[in-house]
């Protein structure tokens, strides 16, 4: 009856899942992090709080949260582990520099209309979206202009 649940915990329960200690701990770890956190980092944070929580449960929880569109795995660089971002209001947007891997997040996306159209057209029920742009950040764009080939200036 006590209703001191975080909004995301409530969504978990409303979807018919138990609010277990492991799940709530993973969720807290994600919320405490600044976003773009890997599974290993989640695992590390979780085990700082309670080292008895197993790896498998962390991965299972990440899967579960993803299936509920509470988080979303995204790729930053290198063919490795995804980093997870929260989808605060169902969406997340960022720019990734493909040269230095800098990430710039931004809030407004103007996708509301597109979302509505798409639901009607594909007959789907949307719960979230991720929009990512890639290219060169201001600094890297400038450096690329100067350097025909090899001038990796260590900044």
Q: Which residues bind Zn ion (CB under 5 A)?
A: 91, 97, 99-100, 102, 109, 111, 137, 140
Rounded distance, CA 31 to CA 27, Å?
A: 6
* Nearer residue to a second copy within complex by CB, 25 or 83: 83
Pick from DNA, a second copy, Zn ion, none: which does 143 bind, CB < 5 to 8 A by kind?
Answer: none
Closest by CA to 71, choosing from 112, 137, 128, 120, is: 128
Distance CA 115, CA 129 (A): 9
Decide whether 32 or 117 has the Cβ nearer to Zn ion: 117
Subset of residues 11 to 70 that bind DNA, contact rule: CB under 7 A: 13, 17-23, 38-40, 52-57, 59-61, 63
Round to the nearest angstrom and report the end-to-end CA distance of the chain: 55
Q: Could you identify the residue written with the tokens 């790729």? A: 75
Find out whether 100 and 138 touch, Cβ atoms under 8 Å: no
**Which range touches DNA (CB under 7 A), out of 72-80, 93-101, 113-121, 134-142?**
72-80
Q: Which of Zn ion, DNA, a second copy, none lies near 49, with the C-beta cut-off 5 to 8 A by kind?
A: none
């Amino acid at each position: 009856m006590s209703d001191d649940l975080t909004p995301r915990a409530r969504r978990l329960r409303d979807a018919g899942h138990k609010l277990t200690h492991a799940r709530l701990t993973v969720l807290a770890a994600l919320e405490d992090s600044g976003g773009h956190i890997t599974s290993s980092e989640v695992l590390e944070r979780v085990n700082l709080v309670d080292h008895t929580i197993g790896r498998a449960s962390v991965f299972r929880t990440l899967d579960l949260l993803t299936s509920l569109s509470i988080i979303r795995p995204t790729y930053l660089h290198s063919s490795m582990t995804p980093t997870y971002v929260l989808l605060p209001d169902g969406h997340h947007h960022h720019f990734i520099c493909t040269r230095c891997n800098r990430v710039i997040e931004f809030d407004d996306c103007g996708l509301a209309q597109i979302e509505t159209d798409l639901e009607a057209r594909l007959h789907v029920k949307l719960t979230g979206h991720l929009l990512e742009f890639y290219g060169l950040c201001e600094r890297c764009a400038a450096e690329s202009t100067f350097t025909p080939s090899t001038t990796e200036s260590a900044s």
